[in-house]
Amino acid sequence: MSGPAGHALSLQGVAKRYGDFTAVQGATLEVASGEFLTLLGPSGSGKTTILMMIAGFVEPSAGRILLDGRDITALPPERRDFGMVFQGYALFPHMTVAENVAFPLRVRRMARAERDAKVRAALDLVQLDRFADRRPSQLSGGQQQRVALARALVFDPALLLLDEPLSALDKKLRAELQEELKALHRRIGRSFINVTHDQEEALSLSDRIAILNHGHVMQVGSPEALYERPATRFVADFLGKSNFIEGEAEPDAGGMALRRGRARVVARGTAPAGRALLSLRPEKIVLLPAEGAPALAEDNVVEGRIAAWSYLGTGFAVTVETPDLGAIRVHLPAWRSPVAPAEGLAVRLGWSRDAAVVVAEDAAMAPQGHAA
Amino acid sequence: MSPKGRHAAGWWALILPAFLLMTAFYVAPILQVLAISVTEPSPGLGNYERLFTSESVQRVIGTTLRIGVVTTAVALLLGYVLAYRIALAGPRAQRWWLLAVLVPLWISVLVRAFAWVTLLRRQGLVNEGLLAAGVIDQPLSLVWNEFGIIIGMVHYMVPYAVLPMLSAMREIDPRVLAAARGLGASRTGAFLRVFLPLSLPGVIAAGVLVFIFSLGFYITPAILGGGKTLMVAEWIKLQILDLIRWGLGAMMATVLVVAILATLAVFSRLVNLRRLFGAGG
């Protein structure tokens, strides 16, 4: 199954309208050869519609889809040669595992000997060779998922499309199969396009993530780039957790500064004078007791009181009420925590200049979008 | 008696009136018919011997089976196309389609049989139309023969064929069909390899239902057959009411009951009949 390298897919201004409702607005995306791209967004963001247009089940209202530079927009699904893992797997209930996996080869009229060899290889790949004669209903959810994968890969497809492949599984199994999926992708070197609403899955699996909201592609980039440098409030909020600080921007020697009430917060980057928005990740904030602790040597220091806290095993999630910046969420490690959290405890927060990043309000990014 | 046992006895008492009614007016007459078949005109299996010796008895059974099989095949074919169309329609359109399928069931079978006679007879709408259009020179004999019987019976049976098949088709996950297309099957391929096999239990169920109904049909064959083509039910009526040969009529009735039970027994091994007759999965 390690044939030639993967294929490149390109979406050019692809849109889908249903009457007055626009499901996808002019999406432009490049999927490089061998890449693992995830379409991430809340339900109704248009991510599944984009996948269905790539697969050929939904006809775009505008735009073109190219595979290695060839226009495939008008091609029916069966002639695109894409493997697909459906939500809920959609295994054929009247066929055994081996017959399910053989289906794509059978409809391609492959000779029996070759077909049997390929089916065996595909079942080996997902470690299900012992279950070849079972029916899908006799398998666990994780095993069914692997049958769906084997069936989608057995015919050496140009691309593998995954529609929420892990959403039906419990959390532990999901983590396990994430690892397997990632290893599989590395081994066979095909381009994978995955759709999910699970941000952790997107972060851990993908080479690149495209974040969608209300039919718009909001931002595309590597997981790290999106997490560290979100462009908009929505991206910062959807991928991980974030505090938002709004204020008046002003120039500063080392980047920019934001003034809100009596507080002045410095951050990297630049912003035009006027209203600006900063995103600050909870785990990038240091928290110390207000009294009896050494002074914080950070670029930004504010004081406040703990309003609420909860223990999460790996850490504490603490909400600190500050006089000027409002409620700020902090995530600190539980192991050797510098503070024993307690409601009403006076604390100091500190973070460095490069912990905060300027983001845009979403309305500025999505002019045709909903009225925000 | 344990509390649970008393409880169960209470429920049995509730269905007792219905049980007695059924025994008195349904089971007892059937048993009597069975008894007549071996006692009239003289005790013994003389009536059943006719099954192997009488050409007219064999002809009636042959005609009935032939008409039953053809009716079942045609009703299944038409019903499958209809059920398929309904299963793929939107929820709103589905309600209208279902109404259109069910409306004929509310019209008396007698009215429908006579309606077919007026359409199909020599001076009927069909023949007049074809003559006027110059397609034929002589009126076709469309009624008072097997052809007419089959038309009337298929018309009656199609709704009974549609309903079990539709319920089987509705249970098919539409994503499975999309999966077949996505994995490289053409429309036809996805239908033949996935949809058809998954709808097959419904087809078998519909086939059993229609075939069993067809065997005992009376009014439609009596009117559209014009007395020339006899099916079992009309033949029984003829023996008992016109020829007063009770033993022979009762024998044929018994054969009909046994044939129906045998058909059910064979197919109950193939499909879940409890579900077909509405007992739920």
Give the homologous superfamily in CATH for domain A235-359. Nucleic acid-binding proteins (2.40.50.140)
| Chain B residue with the nearest C-alpha to that of A54 | B182
Q: What is the reported pLDDT for B273?
A: 57
A162 has a pLDDT exceeding 90:
yes
Q: What is the reported pLDDT for B153?
A: 94
Q: Does the beta carbon of A63 lie under 8 angstroms from any beta carbon of chain B?
A: no
Q: What is the reported pLDDT for B272?
A: 62
Q: Does the beta carbon of A155 lie under 8 angstroms from any beta carbon of chain B?
A: yes
* Segment holding A9, helix H or strand E: strand A9-18
| Distance of residue A202 Cα from the nearest chain B Cα, in angstroms | 24
Q: Strands A36-40 and A191-196, how do they pair?
A: parallel
pLDDT digits (tens, 9 = 90+) for B9-43: 778 888 888 889 988 898 898 899 889 999 988 88
CB B112 within 8 A of CB B104: yes
Write the residue in A57, A78, A83 that is nearest to B185 by C-beta. A78
pLDDT digits (tens, 9 = 90+) for A319-351: 999 999 999 999 999 888 888 899 999 999 999
Q: Does the beta carbon of A163 lie under 8 angstroms from any beta carbon of chain B?
A: no
Q: Does the beta carbon of A108 lie under 8 angstroms from any beta carbon of chain B?
A: yes
Query: CA-based diameter of chain B, in Å?
Result: 82
Task: Please give the share of chain A, as a percent, with pLDDT higher than 70.
Answer: 95
Q: What is the reported pLDDT for A3?
A: 44
- A9-232: CATH architecture: 3-Layer(aba) Sandwich (3.40)
Q: What average pLDDT score do residues A150-170 get?
A: 91
Would you state the structure tokens that stand for residue A357, as one six-digit string? 């990043």
DSSP string over B8-28? HHHHHHHHHHHHHHHIIIIIH
Write the residue in A57, A83, A152 that is nearest to B178 by C-beta. A57
Q: Does the beta carbon of A311 lie under 8 angstroms from any beta carbon of chain B?
A: no
Q: Strands A255-260 and A346-351, how do they pair?
A: unpaired
A17 has a pLDDT exceeding 50:
yes
Winning range, highest mean pLDDT, from A100-104, B136-140, B142-146: A100-104
Q: Which residue bears the tokens 């219905």?
A: B18
A5 has a pLDDT exceeding 70:
no
B270 has a pLDDT exceeding 80:
no
∠ CA B255-B258-B263, nearest 5°, is 125
Q: What is the reported pLDDT for A2?
A: 41
Which region among A173-177, A235-239, B149-153 has the lowest average model confidence (pLDDT)?
Answer: A173-177
pLDDT class of A363 with cuts at 50, 70, 90: low
**What DSSP designation does A340 have?**
-
Task: Please give the share of chain B, as a percent, with pLDDT higher than 70.
Answer: 93
Burial A241-269 (b: 16+ CB within 10 A, else e): ebbbbebebeebeebbbbeeeebebbbbe
Q: What average pLDDT score do residues A21-37 get?
A: 93
The Cα–Cα gap between A236 and A229 comes to 8
pLDDT class of A246 with cuts at 50, 70, 90: very high
> Closest Cα to residue B232, out of B82, B91, B51?
B51
Q: Is A8 helix (H, G, I), strand (E, B) or coil?
A: coil
CA contacts within 13 A on the Cβ side of A242: 27
Would you state the structure tokens that stand for residue A334, as one six-digit string? 């539980």
Q: Does the beta carbon of A103 lie under 8 angstroms from any beta carbon of chain B?
A: yes
Show which of residues 192-221 on chain A sit within 8 Å of chain B, judged by CB atoms: none
Mutate to test the interface with B, among A54, A84, A92, A108 (most CBs of B within 10 A): A92
Structural domain spans, chain A: 9-232, 235-359
pLDDT digits (tens, 9 = 90+) for A291-320: 877 777 788 999 999 999 999 999 999 999
The average confidence (pLDDT) of chain A is 90
pLDDT class of B58 with cuts at 50, 70, 90: very high
> Closest Cα to residue A196, out of A222, A147, A224, A162?
A162
**What DSSP designation does A296 have?**
P
Cis peptide before A230 (omega within 30 of 0): no
pLDDT class of A289 with cuts at 50, 70, 90: confident
Burial A184-212 (b: 16+ CB within 10 A, else e): bbeebebbbbbbbbbbebbbebbbbbbbb
CA contacts within 13 A on the Cβ side of A142: 15
Q: What is the reported pLDDT for B6?
A: 59
Q: Does the beta carbon of B32 lie under 8 angstroms from any beta carbon of chain A?
A: no
How many CB pairs (< 8 A) connect A and B?
Answer: 65
pLDDT digits (tens, 9 = 90+) for B191-210: 999 999 999 989 998 999 99
Q: What average pLDDT score do residues A222-251 get?
A: 93
pLDDT class of B227 with cuts at 50, 70, 90: confident
Q: Does the beta carbon of B3 lie under 8 angstroms from any beta carbon of chain A?
A: no
What is the pTM assigned to this prediction? 0.80
CB A40 within 8 A of CB A196: yes
Q: Is A356 helix (H, G, I), strand (E, B) or coil?
A: strand
The Cα–Cα gap between A253 and A279 comes to 20
CB pair distance less than 8 Å for B180 and A103: yes
Q: What is the reported pLDDT for B3?
A: 54
Torsion of Cα atoms, A74 then A78 then A83 then A88, to 10°: 100
Q: What is the reported pLDDT for B194?
A: 95
Q: What is the reported pLDDT for B279?
A: 46
The Cα–Cα gap between B103 and B106 comes to 5
Strand partners, A266: A257
Instruction: State the complex-level ipTM.
Output: 0.78
pLDDT class of A277 with cuts at 50, 70, 90: very high
| Chain B residue with the nearest C-alpha to that of A78 | B184
Could you give the domains of chain B? 1-39 (no CATH), 54-276 (1.10.3720.10)
CA A101 distance to own-chain centroid: 29
pLDDT digits (tens, 9 = 90+) for A180-229: 899 999 988 899 999 999 999 999 999 999 999 999 999 999 999 999 99
**Which strands, in side-by-side order, build the sheet including A255-260?**
A263-267, A255-260, A243-252, A274-280, A356-359
Show which of residues 152-191 on chain B sit within 8 Å of chain A, judged by CB atoms: 173, 175-176, 178-186, 189
pLDDT class of B2 with cuts at 50, 70, 90: low
Q: What is the reported pLDDT for A309?
A: 95
Write the residue in B175, B180, B186 that is nearest to A88 by C-beta. B175
Q: What is the reported pLDDT for B277?
A: 54
Q: What is the reported pLDDT for B4?
A: 53
The average confidence (pLDDT) of chain B is 88
**What DSSP designation does B242 have?**
I
The Cα–Cα gap between B36 and B24 comes to 17
Q: Does the beta carbon of B265 lie under 8 angstroms from any beta carbon of chain A?
A: no
CB pair distance less than 8 Å for B181 and A152: no
B281 has a pLDDT exceeding 50:
no
pLDDT class of A35 with cuts at 50, 70, 90: very high
> Closest Cα to residue A179, out of A208, A157, A201?
A201
